[in-house]
Structure 1
Amino acid sequence: EEYDLKSRQRLYTFPREFAALGEPLLEAIEQIFLDSKFDATQLNNTLRGVFFTSAAQAQADAVADQLSIWQRFVRAIKTARGESSASLPHALPDGNRSYFLHDLLTQFIFREAHLVEPNLQWAWRYRLLRLGGHLLVLVLAFLLWQGMQTSQQTNGDYLNEISARATRLDGDVKAYTGKPAMAPVPALLDSA
């Protein structure tokens, strides 16, 4: 509740001004929490909240929506009065008045610091999964290499056996052509 008339007048457009921050804020949050193929430390990024505070409080008003009808009306009145640009909404605070984010830091950020510590159980699990994946790749590569070596050895033995049989068959065929007879033909065909 605000009972001061001037404060109530200044707060009248606050809901619209605050709503105008929604779209730029969503774009900024999407860029901050944008997924990256290079960072797989966490399955889902978690946004705890968005805090609106003031780091420096001056009498100047910062307006989120400069193109609203009310802001254009206020600028037109100030221009008609001939006020200087120093009194426009973007005037910077003067002096050494600093309002640091003390409450936000002490009451929220530092108290909830344990929430942003790395989850050691997840880290151990991911490390174990990576190690298991690498070991699986090594075992599969070794089995593939061993299978290729066995295949090469078996194929070599097969070629040697075929070569020996071909040599024996060549000798048998030469012996058959020397003295043709029908009796050795079935044995000759079986050996082929």
Structure 2
Amino acid sequence: MPGEYGNPVGGKLVAMLPSASSPASRRSFLFAAAASCVMIVTACTGRPAGEDVNTKKAPDPLEAVLTSHTTLRDKYAAALAAAPTLVPLLTPLHAESVKHVDALAAAMARKPPAASRSSEPSGPAGSAKPVDPAGVLVELRALETATQQQTTTLATTIKAQRAPLLGSIAASHACHLVVLG
């Protein structure tokens, strides 16, 4: 059967193989090449298609909470330096505030902010002007309350991955308020 293996051309049988120049295979090849180019270019840019290079990311919602906790940590350190009679009461609270700053910074994939210079003792223990311990406690209570409210508010509005951390920190602030009176 000549039709099965080829067509007679000039008395000879010519095999019917798919031609490399057929339009269907050229289109398939061009489509595959274009798709490969798009995938390579997308992979090399490192960002989704359509995202502008100059688009700035929104600030991390934890930024303000981290700043508040850093301030609180530094206030505890300053209170420890200024009011030696409060050291037994404030030392565990200061340690917790350091842990909060570290945890918030870790959640933001950053290093914790360094302690401010004003929170460090400036000289020998007896050289500082005496401070009213009751006034120090009032100031710390106010700062704890504000920080707890800010943390609680954000815990109810933030992504689910960060809410447990903020809820735990807010609960810790409630305990600190009980300790501070």
Q: Same fold (TM over 0.5)?
A: no
Scaled by the length of structure 1, the TM-score of the pair is 0.31
> 1 or 2, which has the higher strand percentage?
2
Q: Larger Cα Rg: Structure 1 or Structure 2?
A: 1
TM-score (norm 2): 0.32
